[in-house]
Structure 1
Amino acid sequence: MTHPIRALEDQDEPALLRDQFRQLLRYRALLAVGVVVGLIGGGYLALSGAETYTATGVVLVRSATADPFATGASADKGINIGSERQTAVSDTVGELAARALAKDADPVDAGDLLAGLQVTNPPNTLTLRFSYTGDTPEQARSRAEALADAYLEHRRQRTEDSIENMAQGYRAQLKPLEEKRDLLEEQVGASGADDVSSARANLIVSISELSRKISELRALDATPGYLNQKPVAPKEPTGAGLPMLLGLGGVVGLALGLLLSWVRLVFDPSVRSTRELVRSIGAPLLGTLPRERGAPDGLLAIGRSGSRLAEEYRAVAFRLAYDPAFAESRRLLVTAPRGDNAAAAGAAANLAAAFAEMGRDVLLVEADLRTPSLARELGSAAHEARPP
């Protein structure tokens, strides 16, 4: 018979998941151990960890511009905010901030100072958030402000150095032109030639252009940015409190307990469901024998009024009797004992009685030649199970 197997294999996925979850709940001790371990770990982290405080300052980054109030002027030209974020956590900024803090009686190494710094950039903005985590609220505030000021100072110096380098380049081009202009002026005064005057006029135009560029560079506003939000000393420590850590510990512990239960379930050789039984032996499931409480002693369940066990034996016999594979080619049915012989003897006797009730000719043979007891235990019950 194959239809019982198909019925088990065609279970829907939610039903299989529910079955597996119920099997995991059998190992309640492992689940409880996982939850307890998680709670202990969360409590330990909450009570043993030192309190830390975080202060945050917001810096608006801008580029140098000639006239910030002119129509269409923009202060974000040429700014790569990703590069600026990397600059904010560089060693140069850390050293500048460390020197400033040393003057305020807070000596700290640049590497240790940068270890507590976190710089982020909100999307679609030219702002940088300087967040510093310290041991005390005042330490977090002062170091966050020192790092933000050091970044602005470093950027201002970098901008002024760039302007000065460009101005020096223009002055280097201007000096030989001025010398050549003076020489042509002497020649014009001596000869008054038109070609000399034309060359002198061209030099004057070039000198005027270079002078204009130098003047524009000197007029640039080199302000690197603004500290829009100064860091404020936090009033409460940063991080999760005791309730949150206990909750997280309980969740992690429950996950650990489920993992341990799953491992225990995987390596458990016992059969836990009819589906696993059918899969392991490769045979159909004919029925499930219930356990009857308070049933009278005796081997035969057939003949008892209202017996669930008898009805299940009848159902098994009916399936066997009308199974084409068994009815046409198999006439011998063997029940082999595993451990106690009573279960196998009971199954054989009840199936034989059920076949007899159906009008089949049944021969019940006991193969235990050393201690035969089936005939004695059946006694007169075998005659009572015969059909009228």
Structure 2
Amino acid sequence: MAQELGPSSRGMLLGAALRRGLILTIVLAVVGAALGFVGGTLRADSVTARTAVLIAPLEGNPFSPDGSGEDLMNLLTEAELVSSDAVARLSAEKLGVAIASEELLAGLSVTVPPNTQILEFEYTATDGDMAVRRADAFSEAYLDYRRARSEGRSNELTERIEAQIEQRVQEVDRLFRDLDEAPIPSQERTLLQGQIDSVSTQIGQLRTTLSEMGMGSSDPGQVITPAAISSSGFLNSRALYSLGGLILGLIAGLVLAVLRSERNASIQGVDDIEAASLPLLGQVRFSDLGVGPTRGESSASTFGSSWRQLRVSLLTQFRKRPLTILLASASDIPESQCPLSSWGMAEATASGTLDTILVDASGGLPQGGTDSHPGLTEVLRGQIELSEALVRAGDHLRVLPAGMAKEDIEDLLFSPSTSKLIDEVKRLADVVLIVAGPIRGSRARVITTMVDVVIVEAAGGVTGMQELANMSTQAVEPAELGGVIYVDGPRRLLARSVPYARS
């Protein structure tokens, strides 16, 4: 089971991810800067003209002289009115162009400065003269529309009041005729006189209201700031947009690096192993893994230099003889998986004239035609002697294959016979190399208690960073962690080598 990563391990994973993603981050930054430059260029091609209108209170409008002047919702309503189709049509008439209202309104924006009775018009267009003319047209059309609305409302009220006055005058004439016909003195005459006085008073009030309406102002407001091109300044410059795109590209690269570190991204080089605070024993190329057992012939002529360097690192660090080594994989792969460097490690020590025995406890070691040969499973069951199961694979190199019952290896490794077998193998060799599956698998864990050194193999593009980060010295106790062998090669070839099939 994977351990919870501490802050230091997370920092190492992030640092490694940043190093791996450096090229991608640079590419994203360059692309972001280029897109920002294009956006800045397009922005620079557009021009904005601004004008301001002071709203005057009018009768018959939401923002009227009877209000307190503090209800800004009225001004917001007026701002929305500017963007109406009616105002857009008036603006088109003033411009003398046949253009759809939607197209004309596309470049318009209206704002209300806080605690003011002012509307600010902004019109953006590709041409400065066009922006100025359209900003002026909208401000004038809006004022004309306000005036027309106010005058229309006033005319409507005037007509209604005049109609009421006419009705009252006719009523007074009728009452006077009735009064002339009434007897003197009489109660009827007194009642008619009272009605005449009441209707006359109403007529006077209506005429007063009509007179006051005629004295009202019809000024809807005025333009206090003529339309003019606003300076773009640094905010609209290409440099700022390019810088913004560059910063966004860098941020995108960092975010991807964080996501990759959190998603158990695969290692890409030896730097990732160092980032996980694990010692690097050596690095081998994928092409060197194809060197197989020579079957009694000297392997020195075909032995790669990377294996020689790995042998020097191993044997100078661990001088104990006999030396028992467990070689396991860092990846959490099936138990049958055999580390890709198994044969190379065995041939490396054997080419140094050290008697080497390679023990296959993984069940996946390519045997070169000895798959049906009795081996480890038969020895652990006591069916054959160790000397009968060993197969010579080259000068100073013998192999103990998995045997014919590979599926029983895991159960047999827990038997007391395993410890006795390892002691016997150590008496026959200078170096005993036992290969198993994943380092956190049950086979590797039981063998760890019987060996001197544990070596872990990590393959580029296959082994995950978190799999390395979860490893520690304590994970292989009581054995000593000898280091990590990094297998470098094309990712697709490494991924296909699970389990590894030799040529």
TM-score, with structure 2 as normaliser: 0.52
2:120 paired with 1:129: yes
The answer on whether the counterparts of 1:299 and 1:378 sit within 8 Å (CA) in structure 2 is no
2:359 paired with 1:367: yes
Identify the residue that residue 28 of structure 2 maps to in structure 1.
34
SS at match of 1:200: helix
Q: Deviations over 1:227-254 (max 9, x none)?
A: 1211124466897222112112212222
Give me the CA root mean square deviation.
4.2
Pick closer, same or farther for the CA change 1:173–1:376 going to 2, 3 Å: same
Pick closer, same or farther for the CA change 1:235–1:25 going to 2, 3 Å: closer
Once the two structures are superposed, the pairs formed by residues 258-273 of structure 1 within 5 Å of their partners are 258-261=254-257, 266=263, 268-270=265-267
Once the two structures are superposed, the pairs formed by residues 13-24 of structure 1 within 5 Å of their partners are 15=8, 18-24=11-17
Pick closer, same or farther for the CA change 1:77–1:43 going to 2, 3 Å: closer
The answer on whether the counterparts of 1:52 and 1:237 sit within 8 Å (CA) in structure 2 is no
Q: How far apart are the structure 2 equivalents of 1:22 and 1:146? A: 59
2:209 paired with 1:216: no
Match of 1:175 among 159, 166, 174: 166
Letter in 2 for 1:195: L
Once the two structures are superposed, the pairs formed by residues 239-254 of structure 1 within 5 Å of their partners are 240-254=236-250
Q: Deviations over 1:152-201 (max 9, x none)?
A: 11011101111111222222222222101011123334435211111111
Deviation of residue 204 (structure 1)? 0.9
Match of 2:45 among 27, 51, 69: 51
SS at match of 1:133: strand
The answer on whether the counterparts of 2:14 and 2:258 sit within 8 Å (CA) in structure 1 is no
The answer on whether the counterparts of 2:70 and 2:115 sit within 8 Å (CA) in structure 1 is no
The answer on whether the counterparts of 1:141 and 1:231 sit within 8 Å (CA) in structure 2 is yes
Q: Deviations over 1:121-161 (max 9, x none)?
A: 12232221110112232222221111101001101110111
Match of 1:225 among 201, 206, 221: 221
Once the two structures are superposed, the pairs formed by residues 149-188 of structure 1 within 5 Å of their partners are 149-188=140-179
Letter in 2 for 1:115: A
The answer on whether the counterparts of 1:58 and 1:228 sit within 8 Å (CA) in structure 2 is yes
Identify the residue that residue 339 of structure 1 maps to in structure 2.
340
The answer on whether the counterparts of 1:52 and 1:238 sit within 8 Å (CA) in structure 2 is no
Pick closer, same or farther for the CA change 1:150–1:20 going to 2, 3 Å: farther
SS at match of 1:64: coil
Count of residue pairs brought into register by the alignment: 311
Pick closer, same or farther for the CA change 1:40–1:75 going to 2, 3 Å: closer
Identify the residue that residue 309 of structure 1 maps to in structure 2.
none
Identify the residue that residue 460 of structure 2 maps to in structure 1.
none
2:136 paired with 1:139: no
Higher helix fraction (1 or 2): 1
Identify the residue that residue 86 of structure 1 maps to in structure 2.
80
SS at match of 1:372: strand
Identify the residue that residue 495 of structure 2 maps to in structure 1.
none
Q: Deviations over 1:210-234 (max 9, x none)?
A: 2222222222212212212111244
Deviation of residue 28 (structure 1)? 1.1
The answer on whether the counterparts of 1:39 and 1:250 sit within 8 Å (CA) in structure 2 is yes
Pick closer, same or farther for the CA change 1:302–1:334 going to 2, 3 Å: closer
Q: How far apart are the structure 1 equivalents of 2:59 and 2:72? A: 11
Q: How far apart are the structure 1 equivalents of 2:267 and 2:150? A: 76
Pick closer, same or farther for the CA change 1:242–1:46 going to 2, 3 Å: same
The answer on whether the counterparts of 2:147 and 2:220 sit within 8 Å (CA) in structure 1 is yes
Q: How far apart are the structure 1 equivalents of 2:152 and 2:66? A: 26
Give the stretch that moved more between structures: 56-65 or 368-377. Answer: 368-377
Question: Any unmatched runs of 5+ in structure 2?
Answer: 283-308, 329-338, 347-355, 361-389, 392-396, 400-425, 433-503
The answer on whether the counterparts of 1:145 and 1:230 sit within 8 Å (CA) in structure 2 is yes
The answer on whether the counterparts of 1:299 and 1:377 sit within 8 Å (CA) in structure 2 is no
Q: How far apart are the structure 2 equivalents of 1:151 and 1:182? A: 47
Identify the residue that residue 382 of structure 1 maps to in structure 2.
none
Once the two structures are superposed, the pairs formed by residues 303-342 of structure 1 within 5 Å of their partners are 335-337=326-328, 338-341=339-342
Question: Any unmatched runs of 5+ in structure 1?
Answer: 278-286, 305-312, 314-332, 346-363, 380-388
Letter in 2 for 1:28: L
Deviation of residue 55 (structure 1)? 1.1
Sequence identity of aligned pairs in percent?
23
Once the two structures are superposed, the pairs formed by residues 277-296 of structure 1 within 5 Å of their partners are 288-289=278-279, 291=281
Pick closer, same or farther for the CA change 1:86–1:29 going to 2, 3 Å: same
Structure with greater contact order relative to length (CA < 8 Å, sep ≥ 6): 1
Higher strand fraction (1 or 2): 2
Q: How far apart are the structure 1 equivalents of 2:313 and 2:127? A: 80
Q: How far apart are the structure 2 equivalents of 1:176 and 1:65? A: 25
TM-score, with structure 1 as normaliser: 0.66
